[in-house]
Chains A and B, each alone.
Chain A
Amino acid sequence: MKSLIQNFFIAARQVFVGNTAYYLWIAFLSIFILLGLSTYIEQLDRGLITTAMRDQVSWGFFISNFTFLVGVAAAAVLLVIPAYLYNFKPIKEIVLFGELLAITAITMCILFIMVDMGQPMRVWHILPVLGSMNFPSSLLAWDVVALNGYLAINMVIAFYVLYRLSIGKEYKMSVIGPLIILSIPWAVSIHTVTAFLYNGLSARPFWNASILAPRFLASAFCSGPAIMIVLFQIIRKRSEVEIDDRAIFKIAELIAYAMGVNLFLLGAEAFKEFYSGSIHSYPMQYLYFGLHGKHALVPWMWFASVLNISAFFLFLFPRTRENFTTLNMGCIFVIIGVYIEKGMGLIVPGFIPDTLGEIYEYTPTTPEIITAMGIWAAGALLYTVLLKFAIPIYTGKLRFATKEQ
């Protein structure tokens, strides 16, 4: 055990060693983190009035980012399924990087929830035993369990695999096999529970549609893997990690299916809302066409739709999917498209028009955006550090002696 801790610190030292580009990258991220910290300190001092949220639109940019990032956390599991269930070797070798991304995404989710809270010092009230968690009644309590559980599962898997690699041994499926299997339904559950969090509110017709959870899953299986594909290319360029093209193309193919389903579900929802045309279609009308002359989100939503549809075709045809220019274009399209659709496009219309029929148009303030950028920078820093820690072990550069040897 002692040597394990010792070895951990030897590996952790890697994090502080790098070339100029590495230090510049860290410095670059730190600037944004400090900026975000400063706007957040201001927010703590003055209250959430520094944001554009008000009683009419009581959740905004922070919760939008949270929602998108829950989707990103799916990346890991979309790799796990082909890797272990179908034993697809090219992907099996890189599952680790997906799991590290899941750890990062969930950490960012927790940060976004924290900055959205009016009384962050009281966060312990939500914990079981210590506080008074309203389980099973509140879906937010469920979400705390689901997200932290997913974080724990991915941390255990990632660090166990790294530990076995560091002593030069193959990891034992008998140890993490059950966890890997568990992570699949668990990943589905984090999206389902997060969707249900909004879905269960009969006061908000836009969210109170049973298609919400399936749409959540479909779009999550687009954005997470798209980010993964971009990251894989950076990782194999900047380090000695080898990533098979076949793995990347396989993931791209899976995105095509997920995006197909996503677009179909969106179409189904649009049909129901617009064809029946009851008052419950107002939020959707606001989103795509504007309502009573208010249309802040309209250009964004059409932009996202164009991106998502183009990405679908780019990923659908093997010729564009297996060409890195068009592949990367598709990835960027998916990331931006889903970010708009599953972020602001999902949260804000839940509140427009509000329950008393008022339309309050919400656009995040500068401090709100800077705080969010700070969290994105913190996430990028965390992922960089995790990679810096994991890659030398993964490539075999860093090996530790064991007693048996």
Chain B
Amino acid sequence: MSSENKQERGVHRRTFLKGAALGLAAAALPAADADASLWDAFFQKHFKEMNEAEIRKVLERLEREYEEKYKKRITVSNEKPLPGVLYGYGLDLSRCIGCRRCVYACVDENNQSKDPQIHWITVLRFKKGEKWVDLEESEKYYNPAEVPEKEYFYMPVQCQQCENPPCVRVCPTKATWKDPDGIVVIDYNWCIGCRYCMAACPYGARRFNWAEPNRKPEELNPNTHYLGNRPRYKGVVEKCTFCVQRVRKEPGRYPACVEACPVGARKFGNLLDPDSEIRYLIEHKRVFRLKEDLNTYPKFYYFFAYGV
């Protein structure tokens, strides 16, 4: 009796352990049905170490995976930085009315998760006449019936695409880097999710996928870029890329936030082109950059076009 009992217990323990081990492995591996695809994903090389053919294979695999997951055709492209281009952004604080249309346009263009909610743009509200440049008195969750509010002004913040980005410096795996067109990008298949970059960013621009990102397939923007708005994974970091999928594919096209702004507060262009709008405003308006004392050299210029 007792030996029988013992044997039974032994079996139980073994099945339990096996179950636990399998559970652990299943939970740890990225969700994908095909075994081959799973191993391909696991052993994928660093983006910059792959040749053209290898990158094409990766893009095809991702498109297959996304199609399986979302039952919808999603293209993943890899447009290279354009020669002779360095993107710059301008934000007219005298115009911004704090409506957050840029925030939602960005969410839709760049496939941010709805639940948990991820926004790449944060709009800060400040009381007029109070101290504001150090951001300590900012309000991020303002929710009035109507904007603009008389006694407040607004300052949207997003990735400042620094020329000297602290996030890139600290990344232990080189999963984030600055491309020659000045855009700081992330390889979501190389990021290990250590969040060191988030600690290093002085602008609170980076977002982490604390859970599996969630978006209805019909709400997905199917035109994506590998380093930009393609659907992300749980456990990786993401952020604004100046809509890399748009600006590299159709030179001259604006990022979604620039397009959406109802008051024209947002400007975008090529810093290397002396006739561009961004160059005009840098040369003719009084511009400043956020936290200039940190020497990060953002390519995101705040300015006041007129005084109110």
Contact = CB atoms under 8 A, between A and B. Distances in A.
Given A59-B199, A140-B170, A201-B200, A122 B210 contact: no
Contacts of B166: 201-203
A201 B170 contact: yes
A117 B235 contact: yes
B199 A204 contact: yes
Interface string B1-31: 0000000000000000000100110011110
A87 interface: no
A173 B210 CA distance: 51
A58 B46 contact: no
Nearest to B124: A356
A46 interface: yes
A132 B210 contact: no
Interface in A356-384: 356-358
Nearest to A37: B20
Interface string B241-255: 000000000000000
Contacts of A45: 27
A273 interface: no
Contacts of B193: 48, 117-119, 122
B240 to A, nearest CB: 14
Q: Place the interface of chain B in its size category.
A: 35 or more
Nearest to B42: A121
Interface string A127-146: 00001111001111100100
Nearest to A142: B172
Contacts of B237: 118
A48 B175 contact: no
A54 B117 CA distance: 12
Instruction: For the complex of A and B, list the 3 residue pairs with the smallest distance between their C-beta atoms, beginning with the closest.
Output: A118-B193, A118-B235, A203-B202
Contacts of A201: 166, 170, 199-200
A121 B29 contact: yes
21 contacts: A49-B210, A55-B204, A113-B194, A118-B237, A119-B236, A121-B29, A121-B30, A122-B193, A126-B172, A132-B49, A138-B169, A139-B170, A140-B172, A144-B172, A202-B202, A282-B136, A354-B204, A355-B204, A356-B138, A356-B140, A356-B157
A125 B204 contact: no
Contact of A118 (B20, B140, B209): B209
Given A58-B198, A355-B204, A47 B210 contact: yes
Contacts of B174: 132, 134
B122 A356 contact: yes
A119 B20 CA distance: 19
A279 interface: yes
B207 interface: yes
A203 B42 contact: no
Nearest to A56: B204
Contact of A49 (B20, B49, B122, B211): B211
Interface of A: 37, 41, 44-49, 53-56, 58-59, 113, 116-123, 125-126, 131-134, 137-141, 144, 197-198, 200-204, 279, 282, 350-351, 353-358
Nearest to A355: B204
Given A47-B211, A356-B135, A119 B201 contact: no
A53 B193 CA distance: 13
Given A37-B20, A354-B204, A120 B138 contact: no
Contacts of B212: 46-47
Interface string B120-159: 0010100000000011111010000000000000000100
Contacts, number: 157
Given A126-B172, A140-B170, A356-B138, A54 B210 contact: yes
A59 B27 CA distance: 22
A279 B235 contact: no
B201 A203 contact: yes
A144 B211 CA distance: 27
B169 A279 contact: no
A134 B196 CA distance: 12
A58 B122 contact: no
Given A279-B134, A282-B136, A357-B135, A118 B191 contact: yes
B173 A133 contact: yes
Nearest to A34: B20
B72 interface: no
Contact of A122 (B157, B171, B192, B203): B192
B199 A350 contact: yes
B96 to A, nearest CB: 16
A1 B234 CA distance: 47
Given A48-B208, A49-B210, 5 more contacts: A53-B210, A58-B195, A133-B173, A202-B202, A355-B204
Contacts of B20: 37, 41
A357 B172 contact: no
B104 interface: no
A122 B195 CA distance: 14
Contacts of B27: 41, 44-45
A139 to B, nearest CB: 7
Contacts of B233: 119
B210 to A, nearest CB: 4
B203 A355 contact: yes
Contacts of A354: 204
B262 interface: no
B28 A48 contact: no
A358 B135 CA distance: 9
Contacts of A133: 172-173
